[in-house]
Amino acid sequence: MGHEGNVIQELMTDHREVEGLFEQIGNQAADAATRRDLADQLTMELVRHSVAEEQHLYPAVRRYVDGGDDLADKEIADHSEVERLLKELEGCQPDDARFDMLIAQLKSSVTAHVRDEEDRLFRLLAEACPAEALHELGDKVRAAKKTAPTRPHPAAPDTPPLNKLLAPGAGMVDRFRDMLTGRGKQG
């Protein structure tokens, strides 16, 4: 799937990729080293996606959608729960009994969050936001994901302006750590 189009198309592409990663993790043997690699890839994708939404999608929801503040606050709370689970998963090996429990909790939380965004939030935003603004937001989200952190940082700010100021620095440190450790390199 290509990453292009407006913000809704971009984020839905991310959602399908995350669903695919959950499926791949479920298809691996319990002790497979591949499960750790897939869990790391899942974490990287979810963190980048969440940071981009918090920087660009939710401010647009607050601006354009009636009741947008409450919607955005609920979605950010969902992200906080997912990030807490990702942080716990980060320190867990695939042969640990908690690994499968954490993956199941994460999948449940992410699935509910995705369903809520796709069934409600995206529809409301599409109705209220000009098409050109949706396309600009797609570009901004793609750019944000390139500099976003790749590891969970539950204590980091999740609303502008601090999240936009601090996320690129954390992202640079995370990518450097990933390079040194080989994290996120499939194959």
pLDDT at 114: 97
pLDDT (0 to 100) of residue 187: 43
Fold of 7-180: Four Helix Bundle (Hemerythrin (Met), subunit A) (1.20.120)
> Would you list the domain boundaries of the chain?
7-180
d(CA 164, CA 105): 28
- Report the alpha-carbon distance of residue 85 to residue 179 in Å, rounded: 23
The pLDDT value recorded for residue 148 is 85
**Closest C-alpha among 164, 172, 166 to residue 55:** 164
> 103-127 in b/e burial notation, b at 16+ Cβ within 10 A?
bebbbebbeebbeebeeebbebbee
Check residue 184 and give its pLDDT: 76
Q: Quote the CA–CA distance of 38 and 26 in Å, as a whole number.
A: 10
Burial of 91 (0-12, 13-18, 19+ CB in 10 A): exposed
Looking at the chain, the number of H-run helices and the number of E-run strands are 8, 0
What does pLDDT average to in each consecutive run of 10 residues of the chain (187 residues)? 83 97 86 85 95 95 97 94 94 89 96 96 97 97 90 63 55 61 64
